[in-house]
Amino acid sequence: MNQFRFSRRPDIGDKVRVSFEFFPPKTDEMEARLWDTVTRLEPLKPRFVSVTYGAGGSTRERTARTVKRILNETTLTPAAHMTCVDAARDQVDAVVREFADMGVTRFVALRGDPAAGVGTAYRPHPDGYANGAELVGALKGAGDFDISVSAYPEKHPESPDFATDFDMLKRKADNGATRAITQFFFDNDLYERYVERARRAGIYIPIVPGILPVHNFTQVANFSTRCGALVPAWLAERFEGLQNDPQTHALVASAVAAEQVLDLVERGVSDFHFYTMNRADLVFAICHMIGIRSHEAEAAGSAAA
């Protein structure tokens, strides 16, 4: 990433497809914010929107409720995240059936983090699926689902080396994964190298970059350390001194994310997954800059012209 490319490029919006990730809300206030976000982003017609699943299935009911509401009250296609932490196979299978009965056709299949927290040793449930690859196999056996899996351009923190990671990703692809979605990253060269290495390792499913708009740089920097994502010095420098200036912080964040996405488009990437953090504004602005617009906004623009 080396230069800003902020001019409106009408051709890009036609080529680029997006998906959005939400987490299930805990409180009424968070619920209201999520639905404001969903309502604002819905007209951008994402390919799908995914809803995360808390550690050890802790959000099972909230995830299911959120997915159901998306199905019933919007035109969006939901993808339910599933993990195998602390659950026997029949429990996981029952949750999959519950989602399928609701009308869910897409899943994001994950092993999940250790129940004791990121950084502690992962112990599979004795009767459970051991990892993401086994869960993909189970989903594929249960129905004709679209299945996304995780990928780590900077290596999964528990993995001893990239070869182990690629081995797992290949097993997930071989078991029927439709696409991989990456952990967020800020250095596009790392992503590009990762995709090249994956192809050389015989992994041919799409590897969709996960983009994290930086709502709060301090939080993102802390979280990045835990999940093994590099925060480049140039990024820290852009947000320096903005802790108490939310407006400038938001402007810089949308500029940084748009720059990253545009650079990836230049490199031939056409699909993006946005970690929305249940907030619409930055994602909406970034989508606008890459030419993804609501039909209402486009119609209003043509009428005014």
The residues annotated as belonging to the active site are 21
Measured from the CB atom, is 110 or 242 closer to ligand FAD? 110
Question: Under the criterion CB under 6 A, does residue 48 sit at the interface with ligand FAD?
Answer: no
Within a 10 A sphere around the Cβ of 48, how many other Cβ atoms?
20
Which one of 20, 49, 113, 242 is in contact with ligand FAD (CB under 6 A)? 113
Question: Under the criterion CB under 6 A, does residue 164 sit at the interface with ligand FAD?
Answer: yes
Measured from the CB atom, is 13 or 137 closer to ligand FAD? 137
Which range binds ligand FAD by CB under 6 A, 29-37, 155-163, 185-193, 239-247? 155-163
x/- mask, ligand FAD, residues 57-86, rule CB under 6 A, reads ------------------------x-x---
Q: Measured between alpha carbons, how far apart are the two ends of the chain, in Å?
A: 35
d(CA 194, CA 165): 11
Measured from the CB atom, is 194 or 239 closer to ligand FAD? 194
Which range binds ligand FAD by CB under 6 A, 10-18, 48-56, 231-239, 278-286? 48-56
Residue numbers 203-262 binding ligand FAD by CB under 6 A: 210
Question: Under the criterion CB under 6 A, does residue 132 sit at the interface with ligand FAD?
Answer: yes
Question: Under the criterion CB under 6 A, does residue 192 sit at the interface with ligand FAD?
Answer: no
Length in residues, the chain:
305
Which one of 34, 168, 277, 282 is in contact with ligand FAD (CB under 6 A)? 168
Question: Under the criterion CB under 6 A, does residue 153 sit at the interface with ligand FAD?
Answer: no
DSSP letters, the chain, are: --S---S--TTHHHH-EEEEEE---SSHHHHHHHHHHHHHHGGG--S-EEE---GGGTTHHHHHHHHHHHHHHSS--EEEEEE-TT--HHHHHHHHHHHHHHT--EEEEE----TT-TTSPP---TTS--SHHHHHHHHHHH-S-EEEEEE-TT--TT-SSHHHHHHHHHHHHHTT--EEEEEE-S-HHHHHHHHHHHHHTT--S-EEEEE---S-HHHHHHHHHHHT----HHHHHHHTT-TT-HHHHHHHHHHHHHHHHHHHHHTT--EEEEE-TT--HHHHHHHHHTT---HHHHHHHHHH-
Least CB distance from residue 305 to ligand FAD, whole Å?
39
d(CA 287, CA 294): 10
Measured from the CB atom, is 279 or 293 closer to ligand FAD? 279
Contact 76, 70 (CB under 8 A): yes
Q: Count of residues binding ligand FAD (CB under 6 A)? A: 23
Least CB distance from residue 191 to ligand FAD, whole Å?
13
Measured from the CB atom, is 113 or 259 closer to ligand FAD? 113
Which one of 76, 110, 220, 264 is in contact with ligand FAD (CB under 6 A)? 110
Least CB distance from residue 196 to ligand FAD, whole Å?
17
Which one of 91, 105, 159, 270 is in contact with ligand FAD (CB under 6 A)? 159
Give the residues lining the site for ligand FAD (CB under 6 A).
52-53, 55, 81, 83, 108, 110-113, 122, 131-132, 150, 156, 158-159, 164-165, 168, 181, 183, 210
